[in-house]
A and B are shown apart, each in its own frame.
Chain A
Amino acid sequence: MKTDSILLDHGSGGRLSHDLVSDIILPIFDNSILSQLHDGAIIDIEGMRLAFSTDTFTVDPIFFPGGHIGDLAINGTVNDVAMCGANPTYISIGLIIEEGFSVLDLEKILKGMHVAAKKACVTVVTGDTKVVPRGTADKIFINTSGIGLIPGNVDISSHKALPKDKIILSGTVADHGISVLLQREGLKFDSPIISDTAPLNLMVKAILAKTKKDIHVLRDPTRGGVGTSLNEIAEKSSVGMIINEEKIPVKDEVASACELLGFDPLYIANEGKLLAFVGPDLADEILSTIRENEYGKDAVIIGEVISDNPGRVIMKTRIGGTRIIDMLSGEQLPRIC
């Protein structure tokens, strides 16, 4: 760690977040399950494989077009468990509420979480609530943890990408991050930009019903966006990747907002999308399966895994050039001119 205090960049999901985990957190806890650093931990208990994940949600603003912090909290953990190839079943909720927070808003969030849990077919079975003095938390923070069983013959992790795998992205990028940003900064566009928060476990279930052995990696590109997720997988699997810029789906209004503000949509958070690394023989079939799901209509194959340049993600640009897609180093900041 090169700083003596924690910076916002350490929470951005990019390189500095990685440094925090690898330099401070991993050495302290030091075990082989944690060091996999997948979306969830895969644990063996008496012959049953369980996926276990936790996430904490501090989004500002707490209400945004397309949802609220409660939706993110349920869908986020459901998705992290699903990205292990598991069937998420039970969720816990931990609430840290700032003194003075509106009871009406709290009810709205909790009712929304109940609806989201039902939609994702998970049950909230335990929880905790803390109230802290005014000014010591920003309205409400929510932690959720989730567990689910992993079916036999499912072996999915960030280390498993293979050369010739096709990389499928289940839909448009940057919707959530831009929606929240515009809401937070009070920037109004005529075309509303809506968060894509959604549960992906049924999509994953349908994929695994088609094949178990040909699905090598699943990842939901949240903080740090698609660009960071691809880099993490390339590094852990020691493979290279070629991504086709033309194939990356971005909504027009999101692309415009990114251009205006100077942001790269590849590094902006998504909350209802997944990346699937699939063996080439079944890639088209899996793509069709994803498109059949209500949250996968815009799914597309964006690239493939190669054996050259391990750890490096290269983009073939629209004009036929090439450039590197690097990992995000810290928070993206708006342009000056």
Chain B
Amino acid sequence: MPIRHLEEYRDPEISRRIIEKIKNFSGKKVRLMEVCGTHTMSIFRSGIRSVLPKTISLLSGPGCPVCVTNQNEIDSFINLAGKKDVIVATFGDLLRVPGTKSTLQKERARGGDIRVIYSTSDALEIAGRNPDKKIVFLGIGFETTSPTIAASILSAKEMNLNNYFVFSAHKLVPPALHALLKSKDIKIDGFILPGHVSIIIGIKAYIPIVEHYNMPCVIAGFEPTDILHAIFLLIRQIEAGESKLENGYQRVVGFKGNEKAQNIIHDVFKVVDVSWRGIGIIPKSGLVIRDDFSSFDARKAFDLSVPDAPEPKGCACGQILTGIKTPPECPLYYYTCSPSDPVGPCMVSSEGTCSAYYRYHGEP
């Protein structure tokens, strides 16, 4: 029977068997971090926490591109929306993120031309249809997304578009993992590594982390059996005193990754030190547009200076993004900060940890 790559990875019987195998281990307390926000959501949606032994803690990591975008950048996005003849093209998740004074959604209601798009080809189309406007695409995301944004800049160049700009706030995952592991506050026994990012960067990108920090790592897909299998492999390593890099997403992740995508990223972007919300500056962890493509760089084309914005008072996003706290431990969670009235981005993003807890876990 051909594999449909759909319900097989949600099979209750396979899941049950993996859970039994996990329960057969010693019951030693372990703390595993799922780096990617989509993993956090998938874990909640499948109810995985409720079937695991209580000795296994799953911590959410900083793999939510909206959540790690700092307050100044959010304010800059909102600033852009108020500029004359500017159309802001954005992925939907940014719409509700609270800036210091407003959100893109509120600015849209007030008349700002802000368009939610599904891919950068939509943004290019808008630019083509509106030659008298400036289209600025808000570029957030990790290695999964940055190749398509880079490709859009290459396409814009080919099409001779002079009204298409990208505000790059892209970030890279492996440097964030190094930063987490260097921190004394963060105690992790193993990483569930992101699935989609790994398709792009390949297994090889994580070798330095495993070797340098002796950290058990497993790359995982997003379906229930994928995640359970990754947890099983991690526990097995930990119990055996091993620290290996294992690929639990073999159907799509290879050793080298997608070299074409890697090359496009390299051609259009250069790597710089950037600030991550709640974490601070992580060396060589962000992407800015190279000088060759500076005519598409929104940071150069517009005056985006905004007053320095502190993180919202009381918001524990930073500690939640690094697995030090869980959302119910944030004083604002649920009663002050909710999806319809968020204080921080973690409550708004579809990959945000607080949003996942609110939707699937409920009251503290």
User: Of the 9-residue stretches B42-50, B78-86, B237-245, which lies at the interface with chain A?
Assistant: B42-50
Q: A317-B47, A319-B15, A321-B47 known; A336 and B10 CB under 8 Å?
A: no
Measured CA separation A318–B358 after assembly (Å): 21
Question: By the criterion of a CB under 8 Å from any partner CB, how many residues of chain A are at the interface?
Answer: 39
A46 touches B (CB below 8 Å): no
Q: Is the CB–CB distance between B19 and A337 below 8 Å? A: no
A96 touches B (CB below 8 Å): no
Determine the chain B residues whose CB is within 8 A of the CB of A335 once the complex forms: 38, 93, 350-351
A185 touches B (CB below 8 Å): yes
Determine the chain B residues whose CB is within 8 A of the CB of A330 once the complex forms: 96, 339-340
Measured CA separation A6–B106 after assembly (Å): 9
Measured CA separation A329–B355 after assembly (Å): 11
Measured CA separation A262–B92 after assembly (Å): 11
B144 touches A (CB below 8 Å): yes
Q: Is the CB–CB distance between B340 and A324 below 8 Å? A: no
Q: A15-B339, A252-B6, A336-B93 known; A320 and B51 CB under 8 Å?
A: yes
B338 touches A (CB below 8 Å): yes
Q: Is the CB–CB distance between B96 and A246 below 8 Å? A: no
Measured CA separation A3–B228 after assembly (Å): 42
A47 touches B (CB below 8 Å): no
A211 touches B (CB below 8 Å): no
Determine the chain B residues whose CB is within 8 A of the CB of A261 once the complex forms: 118
Report the minimal beta-carbon distance from B49 to chain A, rounded to whole angstroms: 7
Residues of A294-337 whose CB lies within 8 A of B: 312, 315-324, 326, 329-331, 333-337
Determine the chain A residues whose CB is within 8 A of the CB of B358 once the complex forms: 326
Q: Is the CB–CB distance between B116 and A333 below 8 Å? A: yes
Measured CA separation A323–B197 after assembly (Å): 27
A285 touches B (CB below 8 Å): no
B12 touches A (CB below 8 Å): yes
Determine the chain B residues whose CB is within 8 A of the CB of A209 once the complex forms: none
Measured CA separation A232–B351 after assembly (Å): 25
A7 touches B (CB below 8 Å): yes
Q: A252-B6, A330-B340, A336-B141 known; A319 and B46 CB under 8 Å?
A: yes
B359 touches A (CB below 8 Å): yes
Q: Is the CB–CB distance between A19 and B340 below 8 Å? A: yes
Determine the chain B residues whose CB is within 8 A of the CB of A28 once the complex forms: none
A99 touches B (CB below 8 Å): no
Closest to A18 in B: B340
Q: A318-B15, A320-B12 known; A7 and B51 CB under 8 Å?
A: no
Measured CA separation A9–B109 after assembly (Å): 11
Determine the chain A residues whose CB is within 8 A of the CB of B196 once the complex forms: 337
Q: Is the CB–CB distance between A337 and B362 below 8 Å? A: no
Determine the chain B residues whose CB is within 8 A of the CB of A5 once the complex forms: 106, 109-110
Question: By the criterion of a CB under 8 Å from any partner CB, how many residues of chain B are at the interface?
Answer: 51
Report the minimal beta-carbon distance from A326 to chain B, rounded to whole angstroms: 5
Report the minimal beta-carbon distance from B125 to chain A, rounded to whole angstroms: 10
Residues of A194-252 whose CB lies within 8 A of B: 246, 252
Determine the chain B residues whose CB is within 8 A of the CB of A312 once the complex forms: 362
Which residue of A16, A187, A255 contacts B340 across the interface (Cβ within 8 Å)?
A16
Measured CA separation A15–B96 after assembly (Å): 15
Q: Is the CB–CB distance between A321 and B49 below 8 Å? A: yes
Which residue of B50, B96, B105, B140 contacts A322 across the interface (Cβ within 8 Å)?
B50
Report the minimal beta-carbon distance from B357 to chain A, rounded to whole angstroms: 10
Determine the chain B residues whose CB is within 8 A of the CB of A262 once the complex forms: 38, 350
B91 touches A (CB below 8 Å): yes
Measured CA separation A156–B38 after assembly (Å): 40
Measured CA separation A185–B92 after assembly (Å): 14
Q: A3-B106, A19-B340, A326-B360 known; A336 and B48 CB under 8 Å?
A: no
Closest to A19 in B: B340
Determine the chain B residues whose CB is within 8 A of the CB of A15 once the complex forms: 339-340
B224 touches A (CB below 8 Å): yes
Determine the chain A residues whose CB is within 8 A of the CB of B10 once the complex forms: 318-319
Report the minimal beta-carbon distance from B97 to chain A, rounded to whole angstroms: 11
Closest to A227 in B: B359
A2 touches B (CB below 8 Å): yes
Determine the chain A residues whose CB is within 8 A of the CB of B350 once the complex forms: 262, 333, 335-336
Q: Is the CB–CB distance between B360 and A333 below 8 Å? A: no
A256 touches B (CB below 8 Å): yes
B295 touches A (CB below 8 Å): no
B235 touches A (CB below 8 Å): no
B247 touches A (CB below 8 Å): no
Q: Is the CB–CB distance between B92 and A333 below 8 Å? A: yes
Measured CA separation A9–B338 after assembly (Å): 14
Measured CA separation A336–B149 after assembly (Å): 12
Determine the chain A residues whose CB is within 8 A of the CB of B48 once the complex forms: 319, 321
Q: Is the CB–CB distance between B16 and A336 below 8 Å? A: no
Which are the 9 A-B pairs with shortest beta-carbon distances? A321-B47, A333-B92, A317-B47, A329-B339, A319-B15, A337-B144, A321-B50, A5-B109, A323-B360
Q: A246-B12, A319-B47, A321-B51 are in contact. List 5 more A-B contacts (CB 8 A).
A: A3-B106, A319-B46, A323-B361, A335-B350, A336-B92
List 27 A–B pairs whose Cβ atoms lie within 8 Å, in order of A's numbering: A7-B106, A7-B108, A9-B96, A261-B118, A315-B47, A316-B47, A317-B47, A317-B224, A319-B15, A319-B19, A319-B228, A320-B15, A321-B51, A323-B360, A324-B360, A324-B362, A326-B362, A329-B340, A330-B339, A334-B91, A334-B92, A335-B93, A336-B92, A336-B140, A336-B145, A336-B351, A337-B196
Please list the residues of chain B having a beta carbon within 8 angstroms of any beta carbon in chain A: 4, 6, 10-12, 15-16, 19, 38, 44-51, 65-66, 91-93, 95-96, 105-106, 108-110, 116, 118, 140-142, 144-145, 196-197, 224, 228, 338-341, 350-351, 358-362
